[in-house]
Homo-oligomer: A and B are copies of this chain.
Amino acid sequence: MTDRKQLILNLFEMNCVSHITHGLWRLPGNNRTRFNEIGYWQELAERAEDGGFDAIFLADVVGAYDTYRDGLETSLAEAVQIPSNDPLLVVPVMAAASRRLGFGVTFSTTYEPPFSFARRMGTLDHLTAGRVGWNIVTSYLPNAARNFGLADQIEHDQRYRIADEYLDVLYKLWEGSWDDGAVVADRERGVYARPEGVRYIDHRGEHFQVAGPHLVEPSRQRTPVLFQATGSPAGTAFAGRHAEAVFTGGRDVAEFRRNKRNIQDALVRNGRLPNDAKFLVQAGVVVGRTDEEAAEKLELYRRYSSVEGILAHSSLPFDPLAHAPETPLSEVLTRAGLDPTSGPWAAGADGTVGQFLDRITAGREGRFFVAGSPTTVADEIERWLDEDGIDGINLRQYHTFGTLTDFAELVVPELRRRGRLPSADEVRDDRRTLRERLLGEGPRLPDRHPGAQYRGGRNLVSETVGVASA
């Protein structure tokens, strides 16, 4: 049993009503409209921990989806990621309600200063006793740019160049500013921290100037587990340097494998090992006691699914619903001045609007999707692990808390029987950090990770200790 690859099991969440399964907030008994309440997050964390999940993974955006139909109307009516609340602030609530569960939070490197973000994540790593991870994003919504003083988005590859320097600042703060053993908390001698173990970072880069020192003393992980979602060349190069877990192409096995190989090559180019990053996919699982029961549930979810919500989220620059289904898509694209060979419509540009709509709505389910009995589901998940080569899933929620409890009650026991998840006994007293649990080593970044180069103050421009930064 022990040589079987185990599944990393995360619940995919967002601090909002409608994250990705649009329309389903209306399902009878769905709790998503409780997202503003502290009790929602306490209950979610308790259920996830008791149910055998490794972590709760929180998506985020810092703007509204307002390009579909040139405005906010559809997103607001469908609650498509608006309203949405800050993701970091629910982590302490969930941490207080759990002892083992990990937390992944999404935060963008594009709009907020690295110094205060370093402090927030350091604080979370302390409060969670090393159970926190960070999903590094660079933001893509035009409205987000306008919320932070820019006329429009910064260009994609430039955002990654900024992110690279952002990470450099963070590593200097998290890894380089305080030595292990700097904190002695010696009441007799009246010394809390040994000054010679703490230093300014004096970062002076192209995009950031940060003096330090880091305000947070070393936490269990120091650097949180670094997650990233990517497929692009700039994103792949970035992942090769930084990522410890990557979300990648979940719609198609060939795409997933290609991305995984590219990222593993990038890891090696950066002096890291091919297994230094875990590969996660977003997965949809609809489970019933029988295949029939699962099919009924799926049918119910499809009935509540909202095409308009999906379209608002897709940021399409045209409205397929404004045309008769039999209209050739090429006609619509031409009228809108869009290139039929590039964009989410490229694969179906020779079909009709109706076919395109079917594809875009069904596409939400993608390759990593299964509906069926516990056996059917477990068989499929084993295929994802062994044949496709994934390491774990972010479980998409159709119904809250239904998706979580269905999985916990029906799938987890089956995966445990097959040695694909640790047993309830094994997890009960697991107090390891998130890095140790997901990566199998830690709690700190491995020495071969670029973030480790600043340890002990090495490779900082200035190594002056305890002298006022100029």
Contact = CB atoms under 8 A, between A and B. Distances in A.
A217 B83 contact: yes
A191 B77 contact: yes
A370 B467 CA distance: 39
A62 B215 contact: yes
B92 A195 contact: no
Interface string A200-238: 100000001111110111010000000000000000000
A38 B82 contact: no
B89 A88 contact: yes
Contact of A120 (B33, B70, B86, B211): B86
Given A70-B468, A85-B216, A96-B93, A115 B211 contact: no
Interface stretch (A121-129, A372-380, A428-436): A121-129
B209 A83 contact: no
Given A209-B146, A466-B71, A215 B96 contact: no
A137 to B, nearest CB: 14
A130 to B, nearest CB: 11
B147 A83 contact: no
A25 interface: yes
A185 interface: yes
A71 B467 contact: yes
B120 A111 contact: no
A26 interface: yes
Contacts of A82: 193, 213, 215
Contacts of A25: 187, 192
B17 A192 contact: yes
A66 B146 contact: no
Nearest to A201: B147
Interface in A223-279: none
Nearest to A120: B86
A174 to B, nearest CB: 13
Given A127-B90, A192-B76, A209-B146, A83 B468 contact: no
Contact of A469 (B15, B119, B143, B216): B143
Contacts of A148: 113, 115-116, 210
A67 B467 CA distance: 9
A274 to B, nearest CB: 36
Interface residues of A, number: 85
A80 B86 CA distance: 30
Give this chain's copy count.
2
B190 A119 contact: no
B149 A213 contact: no
Interface in A143-159: 143, 146-150
A104 to B, nearest CB: 16
A326 interface: no
A210 B149 contact: yes
Given A15-B123, A148-B113, A469-B146, A90 B89 contact: no
Interface in A19-53: 23, 25-26, 33, 36-38, 41-42
16 contacts: A62-B215, A71-B195, A72-B468, A76-B198, A77-B192, A77-B193, A83-B216, A85-B119, A89-B91, A91-B92, A92-B96, A96-B96, A111-B116, A112-B116, A115-B148, A149-B208
Given A25-B192, A70-B467, 14 more contacts: A37-B126, A37-B127, A64-B215, A70-B468, A72-B198, A72-B468, A83-B183, A86-B120, A89-B120, A89-B124, A93-B127, A96-B96, A111-B113, A148-B210
Interface of A: 15, 17-18, 23, 25-26, 33, 36-38, 41-42, 62-64, 66-67, 70-73, 76-79, 82-86, 88-93, 95-97, 111-113, 115-116, 119-120, 122-124, 126-129, 143, 146-150, 183, 185, 187, 190-195, 198, 200, 208-213, 215-217, 219, 306, 466-469
Closest 3 CB pairs of A and B: A79-B192, A146-B211, A36-B126
